[in-house]
Amino acid sequence: MDYRALADLLFPNVTDTPESLEEKFPLRSAPEGAVITRMAPSPTGFVHLGNLVQGLTSERMAHQSGGVLFLRVEDTDAKREVPGAVEVLINTLKHYGIQFDEGATIDGDAGSYGPYRQRQRAAIYHVYAKKLVEQGMAYPCFCTEEQLAAMREKQESNKETTGYYGQYAMWRDREMEEIQAQLDAGNPWVLRFRSTGSIENQFKFDDLVKGKLTITENNIDHVLLKSDGIPTYHFAHAVDDHLMRTTHVVRGDEWLPTLPFHIQLFKALGFKLPKYVHIGPLMKMDGTSKRKLSKRKDPELALTFYKAEGFPVKAVYEYIMTILNSNFEDWRRANPDTPAEDFKFSPKKLNPAGSLFDYAKLTDVSKNVISKMDAGTVYTLLTEWAKEFDPDFGEKLASDSAYATSILAIGRGGKKPRKDLAVWKDAKDYMGFFYDEYLEKPVFDEKFEKATVIDALNRFLEKFDISDDSGVWFDKVKSITTEMGFTTDMKAYKADPSAYKGTVADVSTFIRVAVTGKTNSPDLYTVMQILGYDRTVERIRSAIAALS
Ligand code: GLU
C-alpha cells in the first residue's frame, strides 16, 4: 500500500505540515516547573460542580506555579449542541471567579495558541490525520451502522470483548482500489487509528491523583475523525494539548479507560505526553451509602443552583477547597483572614476515589464566610443576587442603600460576629420586617392573656425614649417585667414557675413580636434605633389595636 498516495487521496486540501504548526505554536517560555493547563469543557448547557472542581484544581495548579490557565471549548459533538451553551459556560466560570489567562471569551478568542474552539480547528487536525495516514498509522473505514451493530452482536453472542479490533477491524488492510471505489461512490468514512497494542501487554503509569497505575495496552482501532471530518475527543485532545503546550491534563476520571489509547496516540504522533491529574467523582451520602452525585437526582449538582440559592462565590470556593485538600480546614483555622489563594494547594491530596460533598457543611462554611464580610460587601452581593432572583426585594434594597447597610451591619465586626445568613435567600426572612410591606402580622403566644400583652406594650410605649442607650433601654424592659409580676431572675423562675407570670424573655418577646412580627430577630434595641422612634411606636400601637 502506498500510504502517501492514500493520504493525498483522503486529504487533498491539506497543505500545512506538522513542522509549520510546531513553529507557529512554539514552546512557551514559562518558568521552571510552571504548570500550563486548561479547562476543556463541552458546552452542553449544564455547568456542574464537577466542572468547578476541575476548574479550581487547574486554576490553582497553574497560578500557584506561575503557569498559564486557558479555556478551550470542546464543541466537537454537534449532536449535544445547545444554543447559547458557550455563553452560559463562559459566564458561569466567570461568576465563580476562575481567571483564565487566555482562551475562548464571550468576545472571541484571546491568546496566541488558538483557535480555542475545536470546531474551528478542523484544518489543524487534518494535518496530523494526514501524517498518520502517510505513516500507515491510520486508515479510512467505510463500515455502516448496520455492519457495526452486527459486529457487536456477534461479539456479544461469542462472549468476546466488543469493539473494532483484530479480525473485526474490517477496513484495516484493504487495497487502494477498494478504498477508491468507496470514495468514488461517495460513501461516508471515518478515520481509524491502526493500533499495534496488545491486551497481553501491561505497563506502569503515574497519575498525579491516582498514583501508580498498571495499564493494559489498547488494541482497538478507535475513530480519530468522524465522517464529517470533526475529530473525536481522543484525537482532538492529543493534538490540542500538544499544540497548546499543555503540561498537565486535569480531567474527570471517566477518561481513565481510554487513557491507554491516549498514551498510544501521543506516541504515534511523536508528542511528549503531558502529566495527568484524574479527578474522582463527587460523591454524596444517600442513607448510609455513598453514591455519585447525579444530574437526574441531585439539583445541587448544577452550578446555577448555588447562584439561585445565593451562596457567595467565596463560600463555594472555600468549601470546594475543604473537600479537595483535607488540610485546608486546619490552615483556615490558623489563618482566618488570609486570602484562600495563599493556601498551598496540592493535587496529590485529592482523594483518588472522589470527594464527599456535604450540603450542610457547605452551609456552615458559607455562614462563616458571610459573617466575616463587612456590611458594605454583604449589601452589594445581596442586592446583586436579589435583583436577579427576588426583584421586589432587590428594589427595596437598592432604594435606600444606607438604610439596608445599617441593617446588615447589625452584629457584624468584633470577635464573634453573628452567623444569621448562610445564603442570600435567607436574607428576606431575616431582615424583611424592616420594610413595612414585608412586616408580618404579629402573633402572640396564646399562653398569655391579650390584656397582659397590651399592658406590657403600653408600659413600654410610656417609657420608650429613642435616645436611651442600650443599658437604659434594657433597664426599662426589666422594670416593666417586675412591675407586671414577671421576673428577671431566670433561676428563681425555674425553681418555681408558678410564683411568676413569666420572665423578662417573655416581656421582650411581646415587644419584639409587636415591632418585628417575629419571635426571633437581630438585637431589638438596635432594630428600634434603625426603625426610629415614629415607626417603632406606630408598630407597637397597631399591634395593641389588633389585640384590642
Ligand atoms: N470535553 C471533555 C469533558 O468535558 C474534556 C476532558 C478534558 O479536560 O480533557 O469531559
pLDDT digits 0-9 by tens, 146-183: 999 999 999 999 999 999 999 999 999 999 999 999 99
pLDDT digits 0-9 by tens, 189-206: 999 999 999 999 999 999
Res 369: pLDDT: 95
Same domain for 164 and 185?
Answer: yes
In a domain, 41, yes or no: no
Same domain for 272 and 385?
Answer: no
Q: What values do phi and psi take at 192, rounded to 5?
A: -110, 150
In a domain, 201, yes or no: yes
Residues 545 and 459 sit within 8 Å (Cβ to Cβ): no
**Cα–Cα distance for residue pair 238/138, rounded to 1 Å:** 15
Mutate to test the pocket of ligand 1, among 57, 61, 237, 247 (most ligand atoms within 8 A of CB): 237
Closest-CA residue, ligand 1 atom 3, reads: 41
**Cα–Cα distance for residue pair 398/203, rounded to 1 Å:** 63
CA of 40 relative to ligand 1 center, distance in Å: 5
- Which among 279, 294, 324 is the end of a domain? 279
CA of 255 relative to ligand 1 center, distance in Å: 8
- Specify the 3-state DSSP secondary structure of 157: helix
Res 10: pLDDT: 97
- Specify the 3-state DSSP secondary structure of 428: helix
Report the relative pairing of strands 211-216 and 223-225 from DSSP bridges.
Answer: unpaired
Residue 80, pLDDT above cutoff 80: no
Burial 381-402 (b: 16+ CB within 10 A, else e): bbbebbeeebeebbebbeeeee
CA of 22 relative to ligand 1 center, distance in Å: 23
Q: Which helix (H) or strand (E) holds 179?
A: helix 176-184
**Cα–Cα distance for residue pair 530/393, rounded to 1 Å:** 18
pLDDT digits 0-9 by tens, 375-384: 999 999 999 9
Q: Which residue has the cell 416581656?
A: 507
Same domain for 253 and 159?
Answer: yes
**Cα–Cα distance for residue pair 71/124, rounded to 1 Å:** 18
**Cα–Cα distance for residue pair 331/320, rounded to 1 Å:** 14
Same domain for 149 and 226?
Answer: yes
Q: Is the pTM of this model over 0.85?
A: yes
Res 407: pLDDT: 97
Q: Predicted confidence band at 414 (pLDDT cuts at 50, 70, 90)?
A: confident
In a domain, 100, yes or no: no
In a domain, 297, yes or no: no
Q: Predicted confidence band at 82 (pLDDT cuts at 50, 70, 90)?
A: confident
Res 363: pLDDT: 97
Burial 426-443 (b: 16+ CB within 10 A, else e): bbbebbbbbbeeebeebe
Q: Which helix (H) or strand (E) holds 472?
A: helix 470-483
The alpha carbon dihedral of 267, 269, 275, 278 has a sign of negative
**Cα–Cα distance for residue pair 299/422, rounded to 1 Å:** 18
Instruction: For residue 336, give the CATH number of its domain.
Output: 1.10.1160
Res 46: pLDDT: 87
Domain range holding 316? 302-371
Same domain for 140 and 259?
Answer: yes
Which ligand 1 atom lies nearest to the CA of residue 54? 8
CA of 41 relative to ligand 1 center, distance in Å: 5
Res 78: pLDDT: 78
Same domain for 172 and 204?
Answer: yes
- Which among 279, 310, 332 is the end of a domain? 279
How many structural domains does the chain have?
Answer: 4
Q: Which residue has the cell 481510554?
A: 258
Amino acid letter for position 428? K
CA of 471 relative to ligand 1 center, distance in Å: 62
CA of 200 relative to ligand 1 center, distance in Å: 29
Residue 326, pLDDT above cutoff 80: yes
Same domain for 394 and 529?
Answer: no
CA of 456 relative to ligand 1 center, distance in Å: 66
Rounded (10°) angle between helices 504-516 and 524-531: 30
Q: Among residues 463, 378, 493, 356, which one has the least CA distance to residue 426?
A: 378
Res 377: pLDDT: 98
Instruction: For residue 525, give the CATH number of its domain.
Output: 1.10.10.350
Closest-CA residue, ligand 1 atom 2, reads: 41
Same domain for 135 and 255?
Answer: yes
Mutate to test the pocket of ligand 1, among 255, 261, 262, 265 (most ligand atoms within 8 A of CB): 255
**Cα–Cα distance for residue pair 370/447, rounded to 1 Å:** 37
- Which among 279, 314, 336 is the end of a domain? 279
CA of 74 relative to ligand 1 center, distance in Å: 7
Cell for 170? 474490517
Residue 78's contacts (CB-CB under 8 Å, 6 or more residues apart) are 228, 230
pLDDT digits 0-9 by tens, 26-60: 999 999 999 999 999 998 888 999 999 999 999 99
In a domain, 423, yes or no: yes
Closest-CA residue, ligand 1 atom 4, reads: 41
Residue 37's contacts (CB-CB under 8 Å, 6 or more residues apart) are 58, 61, 62, 67, 68, 69, 70, 246, 247, 248, 249, 250
In a domain, 43, yes or no: no
Q: Calculate mean pLDDT across residues 302-320.
A: 94
Same domain for 340 and 272?
Answer: no
Mean pLDDT of the chain: 95
Q: What residues flank ligand 1, with Cβ below 6 Å? A: 40-42, 74, 233, 237, 249, 251-252
Res 79: pLDDT: 79
In a domain, 31, yes or no: no
Rounded (10°) angle between helices 313-324 and 49-64: 80
The alpha carbon dihedral of 348, 351, 357, 361 has a sign of negative
Q: Predicted confidence band at 83 (pLDDT cuts at 50, 70, 90)?
A: confident
The alpha carbon dihedral of 461, 466, 468, 471 has a sign of positive
Which ligand 1 atom lies nearest to the CA of residue 237? 9
Same domain for 367 and 384?
Answer: no
**Cα–Cα distance for residue pair 487/103, rounded to 1 Å:** 69
Instruction: For residue 204, give the CATH number of its domain.
Output: 3.40.50.620
Same domain for 163 and 265?
Answer: yes
Q: Calculate mean pLDDT across residues 232-240.
A: 97
Same domain for 185 and 206?
Answer: yes
Res 89: pLDDT: 86
Which ligand 1 atom lies nearest to the CA of residue 38? 8
- Specify the 3-state DSSP secondary structure of 263: helix
User: Helix and strand tally (H, E) in the chain?
Assistant: 23, 14
Closest-CA residue, ligand 1 atom 10, reads: 41
Q: Calculate mean pLDDT across residues 94-107.
A: 92
Q: Calculate mean pLDDT across residues 313-320.
A: 95
CA of 251 relative to ligand 1 center, distance in Å: 6
Mutate to test the pocket of ligand 1, among 59, 232, 251, 262 (most ligand atoms within 8 A of CB): 251
In a domain, 70, yes or no: no
Res 97: pLDDT: 85
- Please return the burial class of 510, using the count of CB atoms within 10 Å of its CB with bins 0-12, 13-18 and 19+: buried
Q: Calculate mean pLDDT across residues 122-139.
A: 98
CA of 38 relative to ligand 1 center, distance in Å: 10
In degrees to the nearest 10, what's the CA dihedral of 420, 425, 431, 437?
-160
Mutate to test the pocket of ligand 1, among 77, 233, 249 (most ligand atoms within 8 A of CB): 233
- Specify the 3-state DSSP secondary structure of 39: strand
Residue 233's contacts (CB-CB under 8 Å, 6 or more residues apart) are 74, 76
Q: Predicted confidence band at 513 (pLDDT cuts at 50, 70, 90)?
A: very high
Q: Calculate mean pLDDT across residues 253-270.
A: 97
Which 8-state DSSP code applies to residue 301?
G
